[in-house]
Amino acid sequence: CNDDDYVGIDQGSQEGSGAGEDRFCGGRLFYNNVVISRSKPFQLKVRSNSDQTENNNHGQHGFALRYVQLPCVN
């Protein structure tokens, strides 16, 4: 990812353990489209710019997210 277009999820990873990543981008955010974060408080950040042109061949039309908040466990 660069500083222009990304979804930010602090300490996000496939398993929800370790330091993880904080920026996700591209056609698929992560393996199997799953990102787990145990960061408190949970925050979702979106950064985008206006560099996309009408002749863009990548077909970038936005994104959709589905999320589930699980209860905290010790």
Per-residue tens of pLDDT for the chain, all 74 residues: 777 788 898 888 887 777 888 888 876 665 567 888 888 888 889 888 777 665 555 666 677 788 888 887 76
CB-based burial, 30-47: b 16+ in 10 Å, e otherwise: beeeebbbeeeeeeeeee
Whole-number pLDDT of residue 54: 58
Whole-number pLDDT of residue 55: 53
pTM above 0.85, yes or no: no
Measured CA to CA, the distance from residue 73 to residue 58 in angstroms comes to 41
